[in-house]
Structure 1
Amino acid sequence: MSHDQVTPGDGASERRRWEETGPEELERLARQRPEELLAAVERLCRGASGEGISGRPTVRTIGRIAEVLADTRSRGCAAYAVDIVDRLLPPEVAASDERDRIRRSVAARLAKAQPFRNLESFFEELPEALHDPGAETRACLLGELALLGASAGVGPGRSRLRAYAERLRELEHPLAWLPEIRLDIEHRFMVRVRGLGTVKTSQQLRSRFPEIPLSERGAVAGRVAVRVSDGGRTEAAARPFTAGGWARTPEVRFFSLPEPLDPGDFGMSFLEQLSLDCLRADAGRRRGAALACATTPDDVLNELFSAGYYGGVGGQGQGGAYARLYAWDSLYALMGLSADVPLLTAVRVTADHRWVRFMAFTPWFHHDTADVAFAVLDPTRTRVAVLAATDTDREGAD
């Protein structure tokens, strides 16, 4: 179907027409007559004004068109995509979570598909406030460009990017806290390596990470560990998984020890003595031995990033910019760092912590789609944080 064969109708019929338009036809229109796609979005938005918060189908259709325009390598298509998310999705029309998803998706697609010359004009005018039209879109776009390394370099365009980023820092936008280039510790973000997918078996875990031997001293220390409640840290540590829509709320626990724990004793012998739901085995239901392996902070950070970036089976990805923010929020929470600690300082002190990946064969885990479990011992060797996440809502999964 081509757009010149479509006549405007009521909002529902207009939406159905565009829902039924195949991806090839949308891509063809984006290449040849992108202005018609913009006109269609304008009509859809006018029709959605009566739907209120229930207008999700229309919003999804608009997002589909905006994403196709963002993917089409053209200055005009890039401008239309930005216009849609800046101007044509007002809060009173679009459900906020769907609006955020579209904006973040469009920003990520623009950063990947468009040459920098098609994007630099978006940063010519600095925002007066965070609620200014376009400020959020450009914050996301800056975050995506930083991850791709496209914001580095010199020239008028890059200067505009840096000026815009500085203005966002002045306005205290949360994304502006992140550096404008990818850090070495973030080297695995958005990188998939064949054969290195989700760890599902003990053999896979042992093949990638050195196993920590069992330790009687660790077991003794675990029995005297005291659980400490901290709602703020718990929420921040779980954020990559809750934002990404993982099916089950992660288990986040914090513990204190009466005396320092030797790093060599920080393994499964210690963890199995803690009050953790993920390690609680029903009688006769344990299907294998639990094990813990030493890992590195970049491994943990990458798993946190991936949880938000790819999203859960029933959730949705949050885009690179916000997945990066949520990953760092979580890592800070696991290390017990306050928000005012500079990011590079946090990177430096990760080496002072002991990082452990662990796996258990209990009803809490399901060893199918995605399971991750980490424990962190702080530099004083007296504080422990545990995070375990599984993307299933099946109780007692086999």
Structure 2
Amino acid sequence: MNDSDDDTTRFAWHTAEQRAAQGGSRQVADLAVELTDRIEAAAEQTRVHEHQLAHLVRVLAITPGHDSLTQLLRLFTRRQGPGVDLAPRFVASLLAEHREAPDLVGPLSERDPKGRLDELRICLFHELILRGVDVDALLKTRKWTRVLYGHPLAWLPRHRSTLETRVGFPSRSVNSSARSAGVTLPTEGRVDPPTPRAEERSALVDSATLYLHQMIIAAPKADGWGDSEAWVFLTDEEVEPDGVPALLPTLPMECVEGLGATGRFEIARRPADEIWSIVYATASMGGMYHHGVHGAYGRLRAWKSMAALSDAPAGASAEEVEQHVRQTTWFHFESDAEWFHNEACTDYGIAALSPDRRRIAVLAATDTD
């Protein structure tokens, strides 16, 4: 069906009901097939344009100089058609990686009455915080700070916490990117239980609610990880940190199911900031074949997971969550149980013993479906 078709030689779509009633169902179906083909061709062309647009935006974000930044912001401030996505969280990450903060403050503080720069601004704000930039100068800029209220990212601390000092970032150019190799269990802090381990299963029962489960897995569910699970166990008596390594393999969790008495189960105690960096990298950079949700939203997802793992109360502020995180005892473990795939440093388990030592929360993640 071409736009130049003569409507006198073929029926129009709005006469389909009449044609079908007169025995012309085949003509109706032929027209439907032709429209389907045109829709598929248009969708493919849209995908091509989206890929080209993403490349051009990346070029402008990475190319140094005031002019390239000005032209990039022009794209954001013009009216966008439906379905057009300039990926502000990704662009903010690129700008923070490739440009100096003072060079960004002026252009991003320009008048923007329709708020089309808002998402880019707040994402960039948190990208800069993670990179150790003193953002007090940004907070003095009214047009910048108005986006710090009523936004999901507004909950986050406005200065970099000491939990966030081991943050890793990807290294990107116009046509390529690189990042850290993945999660590895350290040799220091190892507390592996002796083998053969006791095969008696623990009587503890998973008590994670749906909400709590979703909060714990917030980081790996952000983008690109193959699978993740969470469990929470409440104990009648206090559990000493030294007892956690032997207890974990006996708990009713898929990530240790079928492990047996001698299967590999390696575990280490780790500081809270090292655990935070693992969770942050999971969310911000995604799985091996994905790009994650980048710095700003990766930061939010990491804090959510850490809050739920450490048993911070619902509605707690970032400062209250940090206090719970620091009072929690953290473990990082690996296992040869079937649930894990142990490919290229992309599987890990995290266990958190709450400050009162009566609660053990576990996050397990694998980058293989």
TM-score range, shorter chain: 0.7 to 0.9
Conservation of the 8 A alpha-carbon contact between 1:247 and 1:313: no
Is the 2:307–2:321 Cα contact (8 Å) retained in structure 1?
A: yes
CA deviation after TM superposition for structure 1 residue 186, in Å: 0.5
Q: Distance in 1 between matches of 2:189 and 2:77?
A: 46
Q: CA deviation at 1:217?
A: 12
What TM-score, normalized by structure 2, do the two folds share?
Answer: 0.77
* 2:54 corresponds to: 63
CA distance in 1, matches of 2:55, 2:118: 21
Deviation at 1:103, TM superposition (A): 1.7
Q: Residues 262 and 118 from structure 1, CA distance in 2 versus in 1: closer, same or farther, beyond 3 angstroms?
A: closer
Which residue of 299, 306, 323 corresponds with 1:331?
306
Q: Give the direction of change, closer, same or farther, for the CA distance of 1:217–1:341 in structure 2 (3 Å limit).
A: farther
CA contact (8 A) 1:366 1:390 kept: yes
- 1:335–1:385 Cα contact (<8 Å) kept: yes
1:93 maps onto 2:74 in alignment: no
1:97-153 deviation line (CA, Å, top 9, x unaligned) = xx37x221211112222332344232244767xxx3221111111111222233435
Aligned to 2:159: 181
Q: 2: distance between equivalents of 1:387 and 1:61?
A: 38
1:331 is matched by which residue type in structure 2?
A: M
* Structure 2 unmatched ranges of 5 or more: 1-38, 171-179
- Comparing 312-321 with 118-127, greater Cα deviation is found at 118-127
CA–CA separation in structure 1 for the residues paired with 2:278 and 2:72: 31
- Equivalent runs, 1:202-351 vs 2, <5 Å: 205=185, 207-213=187-193, 223-248=202-227, 250-267=228-245, 269-281=246-258, 288-351=263-326
**1:127-206 correspondence to structure 2 within 5 Å:** 132-152=115-135, 154=137, 159-160=140-141, 163-164=142-143, 166-170=145-149, 172-190=150-168, 197-199=181-183, 205=185
Query: Is the CA contact (8 Å cut-off) linking 1:376 and 1:384 kept in structure 2?
Result: yes
Cα pair distance change 1:213/1:288, threshold 3 Å: closer
**Greater share of helix residues, 1 or 2?**
1
Shift of 1:85: 3.8
**Contact 1:217/1:265 (<8 A) preserved:** no
For the residues of structure 1 that align with 2:210 and 2:143, how far apart are their CA atoms?
A: 34
Return the letter of the residue paired with 1:254.
V
**Is 1:294–1:356's contact at 8 Å kept on the other side of the alignment?**
yes
Query: Partner of 1:376 in structure 2?
Result: 352
Point out which structure has higher relative CO (alpha carbons under 8 A, 6+ apart).
Answer: 2
1:123 and 2:99 correspond = no
Residue 327 of structure 2 is matched in structure 1 by 352
CA shift, 1:209, in A, is 2.6
Q: Report how far residue 348 of structure 1 moved.
A: 2.3
Q: Tell me if structure 2 keeps the 8 A contact 1:287–1:362.
A: no
1:84 aligns with 2:75: yes
Q: 1:209 to 1:56 in 2, by over 3 A?
A: farther
In 1, distance between residues paired with 2:198 and 2:270? 18
Which of 73, 92, 109 is equivalent to 2:94? 109
Q: Which amino acid aligns with 1:159?
A: K
In the TM superposition, residue 212 of structure 1 has moved relative to its aligned partner by 4.8
Cα distance, 1:339 vs. partner? 4.6
| TM-score w.r.t. length of structure 1 | 0.71
* CA deviation after TM superposition for structure 1 residue 58, in Å: 1.8
* SS of residue matched to 1:357: strand
The alignment partner of 1:233 has SS state of helix
Could you tell me whether the CA contact under 8 Å between 2:127 and 2:295 is conserved in 1?
yes
- 1:130-187 Cα offsets, whole Å, 9 max, x none, are xx32211111111112222334354xx6621xx35642343x2111222233221101
Alpha-carbon deviations, 1:337-387, whole Å to 9, x = none? 235322122222223211111111122222223011011111221111110
Q: CA RMSD in A?
A: 3.1
SS of structure 2 residue aligned to 1:121 = helix
In the aligned structure 1, how far is the partner of 2:259 from the partner of 2:164? Answer: 38
Q: Is the CA contact (8 Å cut-off) linking 2:352 and 2:361 kept in structure 1?
A: yes
Q: How many residues get paired?
A: 319
Unaligned runs of 5+ residues in structure 1 are 1-47, 394-398
SS in 1 for 2:325: helix
Of all paired residues, the percent bearing the same amino acid is 26
Instruction: State the Cα deviation string for residues 188-245 of structure 1 (Å, max 9, x = none).
Output: 11269xxx95355xxxx3513332545999988x723221131112112212212221
Deviation for aligned residue 1:287 = 8.4
Indicate conservation of the 8 Å contact 1:219/1:270, yes or no: no
Paired with 1:218 and 1:281, the residues of 2 have a C-alpha distance of 13
| CA shift for structure 1 position 329 | 0.9
